[in-house]
Amino acid sequence: MFALGYVSEGEFQGRLSIPYITPGGVVQMKYRCTDLSHEENGKHTQKGCPKYLYEAGTGTFLYNAQILIHSLQRVVVVEGELDAVCVQAYAGIPAVAYPGADTWGEKKHWRLCFEGVSEVIVVADGDKPGKEAARKVADSLGFSARVVNMPAGEDSNSFIASQGAGAYLERLQ
């Protein structure tokens, strides 16, 4: 569904490949470190090994934005591609991601992508930057957006993994 892959050779070897797909094709590739020994308490801690790498010369885009082409009743907006994958695949709700807490403000036109969506739920990661970013996103989207906070230290992906999709859906109510 998301065309995720694993890079077996070359510059990004050993990383998860995350394509940003649009109706016109792939506009960006992002590569995530898959070495779990680089993680501690859910945080990437390995110096000299960035959690994410990008193809040179690419821009910053919304992830999974192609789902917005169709008029939708409800969409979840999260921080991070794998959160969007998890929400859509396990909770069954169309999900779009912005690629980091500081990216939404740079792209004022992103709000236009959500015109025609009846309900936008912006899910805030359970930390201060996540909550601040979610508030900025919701404020820019206007009256149709509301914020749902994840517990401290959690994001959509970790919450669904630990509590299940049912608990996540209840939290969104």
- Give residue for tokens 């690419």: 58
- How crowded is the C-beta side of 38, counted as CA atoms within 13 Å? 14
pLDDT tens for residues 86-138?
999 999 999 999 988 888 988 889 999 999 899 999 999 999 999 999 999 99
The pLDDT of residue 90 is 97
Q: What is the CATH number of domain 65-172?
A: 3.40.1360.10
Among 9-23, 35-49, 76-90, the range scoring the smallest mean pLDDT is 35-49
The pLDDT of residue 71 is 67
Tell whether the torsion through CA atoms of 162, 164, 169 and 173 is positive or negative.
negative
Strand order in the sheet with 15-22: 5-6, 15-22, 25-33, 52-54
Q: Average pLDDT in the 31-43 region?
A: 77
Contacts 24+ apart (CB under 8 A), 56-62: 58/27, 58/28, 58/29, 59/27, 59/28, 60/99, 60/103, 60/106, 60/107, 61/20, 61/22, 61/27, 61/28, 61/99, 62/96, 62/97, 62/98, 62/107, 62/110, 62/113
Report the SS3 class of residue 168.
helix
The pLDDT of residue 29 is 93
The pLDDT of residue 41 is 65
Does residue 48 surpass a pLDDT of 80?
no
Does the predicted model carry a pTM greater than 0.75? yes
Secondary structure (DSSP) of 119-133: EEEEEEPSSHHHHHH
What letters, b where the CB count within 10 A reaches 16 and e where it falls short, cover 102-132? Answer: ebbeeeeebbebbeebeebbbbbbbeeebbe
For residue 42, name the pLDDT band (cuts at 50, 70, 90).
low
The pLDDT of residue 43 is 67
Reference 49, options 62, 36, 66; nearest CA is 36
Q: Average pLDDT in the 43-57 region?
A: 78
**Domain-wise residue ranges, the chain:** 5-54, 65-172
Write down the mean pLDDT value for the chain. Answer: 91
